[in-house]
Structure 1
Amino acid sequence: MKLKIISIIICVLLTGFASCSKSVKRTATYFGGKIINPKANHVILYSMDKVIDTFFINAENKFIGKLEDVKEGLYYFVHGYENQFVYLEPNDSLMLSLNTWNFDESLVFSGFGADRNNILLDCYLQFEKDERLFYQYNALPPKLFQQKVDSIIRHKIETFEDYALHHPKETASYYELLKTALTYPVYTRIENYPNAHAKKMHLSSFPKTPISFYDFRKDIDLNKDAWMYYPPYSKYVSSFLYNTTYNNGYQPMQNHFSSNFTADLLKTIASQIKSKRFKNAYLKQTLFSHFNKKSTSEINSNEFEVFLALSSNEQDKALVHKLLRDNEQIATHHQMMNFKLHDFTNTSRSLKQLLRKKNSLLFFWSPNKVSRPYVQSRINYLSNRYPQIQFLTIQIDGDTHTQIENFDIKKQFFIKSNSEANSFLTSKMTRSILINRKGIVTNGFASLSSRNIYSQLDQLNQY
C-alpha cells in the first residue's frame, strides 16, 4: 500500500501559521492546514460527538489550532458537509492539505503525526476501491469466497507488519487501530456475504458457509466506545449484528425489514453490546433507519415497544413518543389539514391555496437534520422524474432567511412557531406527506431516502 508521506521540517511547515524555536520544547499539539476552494470559513474538530475546538480559515485559506492536554486517540474534523478522521497524540504538529472539489482523494497530511494518518487515509480510500472487487466476489460459492478474502487479509497483515517495522515507536493503541482499519473492512464484507450472495444470485435462502468462515470473530471486541464513530469499526459491528439476527431463521430481505426482524435485531443489539452508550446509539439508529426505509405511516407498534423496553436513554425514548404522536396527527385516506406557512418574501400563505388540486409532496425538513445541498439535489431529481407532481419544501426550524440555492424559490417555504403544522412536527423529524389532487393524504410519513418512495410516487401519479 502506497503511503502519502511528505517529509517537511515542522518549523518550515508552520511558516505563516506560528513561529517556532529549537530552544523551546513543544508542550502543545498543533492541528492546521490549507483548504483549497473552502466551503465554509471554519474547521471543527471533534472527539466522538464532543466539539474540541473551532478553527477559522484566513484569507490565504489556511488555519491553525493549538490544543492543550490532548489525549491520544481518534478525532475527526468537519468542513462544510465533509469530514475525515485523524489520529492525534500529544505534541503532534499535524498539517493537512485538501481541495474540497475532491475532498478525500486530495487530502494529504504532513508534519509530526503525518505517517500514521496518511496510512489510515489510504485504508479508507482502499475500502472504496475494493467495492467493485467484492461485488464480483459475492457471486462466488462460500469456499471460493473464503479463499479470496483469506488472501486479502494476509496482504493487509503484511502491510501492517511493514508499517510497524518502519515505525517502531508508534503506541500500542495506534497499532491496534491501524490493524482494525486494515482488516475490519474485509471482516465486514465477510459478514455481509450471505445476504449479498443471495441477492446477487437471486436466491430465496442463504448459502451454507464453512465452519471456519467466521473464525476471525474470536478476536473482535464489540464494545470499544472510543471507536463508535469510526467507519471501519462501526460498519463491522453493524454488519455482525444484522448477520447474527438473520441467523435466527430469517430469509433474505431487500427493500425493507419486517417488524419482527427489526424487533429481533434490537434484541440482538441489547444482548451483544455491553457498552450502555454504544448500545443506546445502535438501538436508536436501527429503529429510525428501518422506519425511514419503510417510508410509511402504517406503523407496527411491536418494534417501538421493544425499543422503549431496551433503551436506557430517556431523550431517545421521548423522541420516539413524539414521533408516534406526530404520526397519529395526520390520518391516511383523510383530508389534509390546512395551515399557514410563509414564502421567502415573508408572505403568509395557506396550504390549501398552494395545493390547488395538484398531486403534491410536502417535504418538512430541519437544517439540523439534513443539509440544504441534499434537499436541493433530491427534490430536483424527483421533480424531474415526476413532473406531474408538485414538490414543496417546508423548513420547520433554524435559519429561515437562507434559501436553498439552485432550487425554485416558488417551491420553498417555512413555518413559524405559531403554525398549526407544529402539531404534527414535535419530533422535528424529516417527513414527507403525499397528498392527491383531492387533498386526501395517501402517505403521512414518507421518506425521500427510501427506495419505496418511487412506487409511492407512481401510485400518487395515478390519481
Structure 2
Amino acid sequence: MASTLILISCEKDSKIEEGAAYFGGEVVNPRENFVILSKSKKVLDTVFLDESNRFLYKVANMEEGLYTFRLWAAEGLEYQMVLLEPNDSIIFRLNTLEFDESLVYTGRGARKNNYLINLFLDGEAEDKVVLGYSQLAPHEFERRLDSIRNHKFNKLKKFNVKNPTSDIFNNLVEGSINYDYYLSKEVYPFVNYANSERANFEALPSNFYDFRSEIDYDYSELMDFFPYYSFLKHHFENMALSEHFKKSDDTVLDVKSKNYNLIKLDLIDRLMINDSIKNRLLAQTAFEFISKSKNTDEYDEVLNSYTAKNTHVENGTYITEMVSSLKALKTGSFLPEISILDYNNRELNLKDVINKPTVLYFWSNTYSSHNDSHKKAEELKVKYPEVNFIAIHATTNKQQEWKSLILKYNYSKDNEFIFKNPELAKQKLAISPINKVMIIDKKGKIVNAHTNMFSIMFEEELLGLLNQ
C-alpha cells in the first residue's frame, strides 16, 4: 500500500519529465538508510531513505537498459537488477530478511521486472534439477535440458500475448534463457561424476557444442546480466581445458595449472569483443590462478600474459601489486610491517602479537561467512590449545562500528583486531578473498600465506606446524 502511495504521488506530480524514468521503493527492516543506484558499474547516486524507509529517484538523461540497486541486507551488501525504459515509474518493496524472495514491483514497467525476477528465482531452483540431470548420459541430459528451454520460451510467448513488451525486454529474456541453457552444457563435463573430465569430454556427442556458433561475444545488452557473464566464465574454462588436454597427459581439471590458465587468457583475448567483459574475464582468470597457486615462480609468466592483454589500468595495477605481495609472503618470510588496533584502541604491530604458533583469519560483516569462520576457530582452539587464533576485521578502521559488531556477535575481545589502514594492509597481505587464512610459526615466519580453515587438509597443516 505504501509503495502504491509513492507511485500515485509521483504520477500526479506535474513536474514529471517526459522520457525520464522514476524508480523508488520501500525497504522493510533496513540495515542502513540508503540505496546505491548504478548503471554498467558506474554509480549514479546514493539515495537516502526517508523516515518511512522509502525513496523515489528520477533517472534523467534516460538510457534504457539494466540498472543495479544495492542495499544492506541480512547477508551483507546485496544487489538486484531492474530494467528501466523511458517513462517507466517503477516502485519495489522488499524485506532485507528475505531479499530476492520478497522483492515485488508495482507501477508502470513493473510487469516486465516481476517477470525477470521470477525468471531469476525459478533459475535458482532449476539449477538443482539440472545438477541431477547432469549425472545422466549426454543424450538424455540434452533431451531434458531442451525440454526446460522450450517450456521457458512457451511461457514467454504467453506473456507477450497479454503484455505489450519491448525489444530490449525480449532480448534480455531470450538471452537469459539461451545462455542458461548454454551454461548447463558447458559445465556438464565438470559436474558429471561418472569419470574424469577428459573421459567426459571424450564421451560427448560430436554436435554437443554446436550452439557455440550462436554465441555473441559482444552482447552489449546482456553485458551486466549475470547469466551471460557466468556462461562466458565457464565457457572459457571448458574450452581451455579441452585445449590443455590436447597438449598434456592430464585427465582432470587442475585450476593451478599454469599452462591451462595461459590457454584460457589467450582464448579470452582472441574471442571476446566487448572490452569491458574481456577485461573482467582476464582479471578473474589471473586473480584465481595467482591466489590459488603457491608456486610463485610461475606468477610472472601468467602476469605478463595478462598484462599484455588487459586494457583496464586499475585492474592491472591491482593484479600486479597482488603478485608483488604474494612473492613477499612466501613460506619462511616474516610478516610485513602492519599496524593494528585492539579493542582498547591501542596501536600495535601485527608481528608483536604473535608469540606462539598462530592462525590469522580475516573477516568482514559484509559477508555472512564471518560467523562460520569464528565458530570454526572456536572448535579448533579446543583441539589445538597450543595455537593462537587471531581474527582481524579487514574492511573497516572505525572503532565504534567494529566494537558494536564484537558485542553483537559475542566475539572475544582479546583476539580481535582491526587494521589501522585496511586498504594498505589488504594489499600487503594479499587478502582476497576476504576469508583467507594465514599460518604463522612461533618465530613469526610464514608457513602458509593462503589457506582455508574449512579445507580437509587444514588440521594436517596445524599438526605440521606444532611438530616443527
- The aligned counterpart of 2:71 is 79
Q: Whole-Å Cα distance in 1 between the matches of residues 51 and 456 of structure 2? A: 45
Deviation at 1:253, TM superposition (A): 4.2
Q: Whole-Å Cα distance in 2 between the matches of residues 177 and 414 of structure 1? A: 43
Alignment pair present for 1:142 and 2:142: no
1:381 to 375, 391, 395: 375
Q: Whole-Å Cα distance in 2 between the matches of residues 249 and 226 of structure 1? A: 32
Checking the alignment, whether the CA contact within 8 Å between 2:394 and 2:422 is kept in structure 1 is: no
Deviation at 1:227, TM superposition (A): 2.7
Deviation at 1:332, TM superposition (A): 1.0
Alignment pair present for 1:219 and 2:214: yes
Checking the alignment, whether the CA contact within 8 Å between 1:225 and 1:277 is kept in structure 2 is: no
Q: After superposition, where does 1:410-449 map in structure 2 within 5 Å?
A: 410-416=414-420, 425=428, 429=432, 430=434, 432-444=437-449, 446-448=450-452
- The aligned counterpart of 1:248 is 243
Q: Whole-Å Cα distance in 1 between the matches of residues 362 and 420 of structure 2? A: 13
Shift of the 93–284 alpha-carbon distance from structure 1 to 2, 3 Å rule, reads same
Query: Structure 1 regions of 5+ residues with no counterpart?
Result: 1-7
- The aligned counterpart of 2:7 is 14
Q: Whole-Å Cα distance in 2 between the matches of residues 135 and 230 of structure 1? A: 22
Shift of the 340–50 alpha-carbon distance from structure 1 to 2, 3 Å rule, reads closer
Q: Over the residues paired in the alignment, what is the CA RMSD in angstroms?
A: 3.1
Q: Whole-Å Cα distance in 1 between the matches of residues 391 and 195 of structure 2? A: 40
Q: Whole-Å Cα distance in 2 between the matches of residues 378 and 262 of structure 1? A: 31
Question: What TM-score do the two structures reach when normalised by structure 1?
Answer: 0.85
Checking the alignment, whether the CA contact within 8 Å between 2:451 and 2:458 is kept in structure 1 is: no
Shift of the 183–203 alpha-carbon distance from structure 1 to 2, 3 Å rule, reads closer
Alignment pair present for 1:128 and 2:124: yes
- The aligned counterpart of 1:361 is 359
Question: What TM-score do the two structures reach when normalised by structure 2?
Answer: 0.85
- The aligned counterpart of 2:32 is 40
- The aligned counterpart of 1:4 is none
**Amino acid corresponding to residue 164 of structure 1 in structure 2:** N
- The aligned counterpart of 1:328 is 327
Shift of the 457–336 alpha-carbon distance from structure 1 to 2, 3 Å rule, reads farther
Shift of the 373–313 alpha-carbon distance from structure 1 to 2, 3 Å rule, reads closer
Deviation at 1:426, TM superposition (A): 8.1
Deviation at 1:337, TM superposition (A): 5.8
**Amino acid corresponding to residue 140 of structure 2 in structure 1:** L
Checking the alignment, whether the CA contact within 8 Å between 1:73 and 1:89 is kept in structure 2 is: yes
Q: Whole-Å Cα distance in 2 between the matches of residues 435 and 291 of structure 1? A: 20
Deviation at 1:398, TM superposition (A): 4.6
Q: After superposition, where does 1:41-80 map in structure 2 within 5 Å?
A: 41-80=33-72
Shift of the 223–339 alpha-carbon distance from structure 1 to 2, 3 Å rule, reads closer
Classify the secondary structure of the residue corresponding to 1:312. Answer: coil
Shift of the 183–438 alpha-carbon distance from structure 1 to 2, 3 Å rule, reads same
Deviation at 1:152, TM superposition (A): 1.2
Checking the alignment, whether the CA contact within 8 Å between 1:339 and 1:350 is kept in structure 2 is: yes
Q: Whole-Å Cα distance in 2 between the matches of residues 201 and 398 of structure 1? A: 46
Q: Which moved more, 1:382-391 or 1:23-32?
A: 23-32
**Amino acid corresponding to residue 425 of structure 1 in structure 2:** K
- The aligned counterpart of 1:5 is none
**Amino acid corresponding to residue 414 of structure 2 in structure 1:** K
Q: What is the total number of aligned residue pairs between the two structures?
A: 443
Q: After superposition, where does 1:152-163 map in structure 2 within 5 Å?
A: 152-163=148-159
Alignment pair present for 1:187 and 2:182: yes
Classify the secondary structure of the residue corresponding to 1:186. Answer: helix
Q: Whole-Å Cα distance in 2 between the matches of residues 153 and 339 of structure 1? A: 53
- The aligned counterpart of 1:164 is 160
Q: Whole-Å Cα distance in 2 between the matches of residues 308 and 212 of structure 1? A: 35
Checking the alignment, whether the CA contact within 8 Å between 2:196 and 2:252 is kept in structure 1 is: no
- The aligned counterpart of 1:460 is 462
Q: After superposition, where does 1:395-414 map in structure 2 within 5 Å?
A: 395=393, 398-401=396-399, 402-403=401-402, 404-405=405-406, 406=409, 407-414=411-418
Q: Whole-Å Cα distance in 1 between the matches of residues 336 and 106 of structure 2? A: 58
Deviation at 1:14, TM superposition (A): 1.9
Query: What are the superposed Cα offsets for residues 138-157 of structure 1, whole Å, 9 maximum, x if unpaired?
Result: 11111111111111111111
Shift of the 23–380 alpha-carbon distance from structure 1 to 2, 3 Å rule, reads closer
Larger helix proportion of the pair: 2
Deviation at 1:94, TM superposition (A): 0.5
Classify the secondary structure of the residue corresponding to 2:12. Answer: coil
Q: Whole-Å Cα distance in 1 between the matches of residues 251 and 338 of structure 2? A: 43
Q: Whole-Å Cα distance in 1 between the matches of residues 2 and 425 of structure 2? A: 57
Deviation at 1:414, TM superposition (A): 2.9
Q: After superposition, where does 1:197-208 map in structure 2 within 5 Å?
A: 197=192, 199=193, 201=195, 205-207=199-201, 208=203
Deviation at 1:344, TM superposition (A): 3.1
- The aligned counterpart of 1:237 is 232
Shift of the 412–226 alpha-carbon distance from structure 1 to 2, 3 Å rule, reads farther
Deviation at 1:255, TM superposition (A): 7.0
Classify the secondary structure of the residue corresponding to 2:307. Answer: helix
Classify the secondary structure of the residue corresponding to 1:234. Answer: helix
Checking the alignment, whether the CA contact within 8 Å between 1:46 and 1:77 is kept in structure 2 is: yes
Shift of the 382–390 alpha-carbon distance from structure 1 to 2, 3 Å rule, reads farther
Classify the secondary structure of the residue corresponding to 1:206. Answer: helix
Deviation at 1:26, TM superposition (A): 4.8
Q: Whole-Å Cα distance in 1 between the matches of residues 194 and 297 of structure 2? A: 30
- The aligned counterpart of 1:393 is 391
Checking the alignment, whether the CA contact within 8 Å between 1:325 and 1:424 is kept in structure 2 is: no
Q: Which moved more, 1:18-27 or 1:49-58?
A: 18-27
Checking the alignment, whether the CA contact within 8 Å between 1:330 and 1:424 is kept in structure 2 is: no
Q: Whole-Å Cα distance in 2 between the matches of residues 178 and 163 of structure 1? A: 11
Checking the alignment, whether the CA contact within 8 Å between 1:206 and 1:252 is kept in structure 2 is: no
Deviation at 1:297, TM superposition (A): 6.6
Classify the secondary structure of the residue corresponding to 2:24. Answer: strand
Shift of the 373–316 alpha-carbon distance from structure 1 to 2, 3 Å rule, reads closer
Q: Whole-Å Cα distance in 2 between the matches of residues 424 and 281 of structure 1? A: 19
- The aligned counterpart of 2:271 is 272
